[in-house]
Structure 1
Amino acid sequence: MLNKVQLIGNLGNDPDVKYTQSGACVTTISIATTKKWKDRDGNPQEKTSWHRVKLWNKLGEIAGEYLRKGSKVYIEGELDYGSYEKDGVTHYTTDIIASEMKMLDGRRDGDNDNGQRQGGQQQRQAPRQEYGGGGGGQRQGGGYGQQQPSSRQREQPQQPPMDDFVDDDIPF
């Protein structure tokens, strides 16, 4: 069986960081993904979907510290369905429990100065950060506070920074 979700999108609001009674961090973020296409008449169309993502433990702490409304992020995880009752009505929820996160934005102004000059203007860029092993809450059977490298991190050697990457380098 496979239950895997991959998203690239932007945060719709600042992360909501909370802690369980046992001290585990759980951060909730809302990510927007947008699909664009042209209809039969050639008119541009667009649909935005919103996804609620939960990040546990160290992954949640990192998300709470570094992500902000508008941040571009890659999330990998699994779907989790739940329900609750309020005022006699059953409500159903769909969450994504993140196991991996990559921050795709450069650093914001005010962060440490490791920028580069372009067009006479200082631009700050952070190396792309990849975080994994945040756990899936109670379903992971313990492991709170432990951060294991994701299988992708274990299998792949370190890639050189993409700062010098140019669209002309793409072979298609």
Structure 2
Amino acid sequence: MNKVILMGRLTREPDVRYSTTGAEQLAIARYTLAIDRRYQKDSQNNADFIRCVTFGKSAEFAEKYFHQGTKIVVEGRIQTGSYQDKDGKTVYTVEVVAENQEFAESKQAAQNNNVSMAKENGATNGMDDFVSIPEGADESGLPFNF
């Protein structure tokens, strides 16, 4: 059985590309999760950085709703591969093919985390970043509740 479940934060915005196969376009999203290690040696924060890939509607969802720092849970399988680099050397790859992905924290917790990260980086988080939903908009298609 090849099954993995990971929880971590995105290290940057997902990289989404579109591949055309026949008459269809297939979205492919790649992102890296920073996953804290459970046991820390000498009180140092250690993390593993795991590359993930997802396809189709899941990739489009990642493009629309996942952002740097978002805490998510990924369920999928490990996939290995290899390719030849420009020098002719074989490079081996390992990534998680995300079959299910979802938020691991509330929207409020995510916003609080983004404010903390912005303060650490010397940025300010004003109300300019706030986007309100227009009156009468259909909110049923949104992936979270307000």
TM-score between the two structures when normalised by the length of structure 2: 0.69
Partner in structure 1 of residue 32 of structure 2: 30
Distance 1:36 1:59 in 2: 28
Partner in structure 1 of residue 95 of structure 2: 95
Partner in structure 1 of residue 130 of structure 2: 110
From the superposition, tell whether residues 13 and 56 of structure 1 become closer, same or farther in structure 2 (CA, over 3 Å).
Answer: same
Number of residues of Structure 1 aligned to a counterpart in Structure 2: 111
Q: Structure 1 stretches of 5 or more lacking a match? A: 114-125, 128-172
Matching of residues 64-79 of structure 1 within 5 Å: 64-79=63-78
Deviation at 1:75, TM superposition (A): 0.3
**Which portions of structure 1, spanning 4 or more consecutive aligned residues, are displaced by more than 3 angstroms?**
105-109
Over the aligned positions, Cα root-mean-square deviation in angstroms equals 1.9
Partner in structure 2 of residue 54 of structure 1: 53
Deviation at 1:38, TM superposition (A): 5.3
From the superposition, tell whether residues 105 and 88 of structure 1 become closer, same or farther in structure 2 (CA, over 3 Å).
Answer: same
Asked if structure 2 preserves the Cα contact closer than 8 Å seen for 1:36 and 1:45, the reply is: no
Asked if structure 2 preserves the Cα contact closer than 8 Å seen for 1:26 and 1:55, the reply is: yes
Deviation at 1:112, TM superposition (A): 4.6
Distance 1:25 1:19 in 2: 5
Distance 1:96 1:69 in 2: 18
Asked if structure 1 preserves the Cα contact closer than 8 Å seen for 2:30 and 2:51, the reply is: yes
Deviation at 1:103, TM superposition (A): 1.2
Instruction: Determine helix, strand or coil for the equivalent of 1:24.
Output: strand
More helix by share: 2
Asked if structure 1 preserves the Cα contact closer than 8 Å seen for 2:51 and 2:95, the reply is: yes
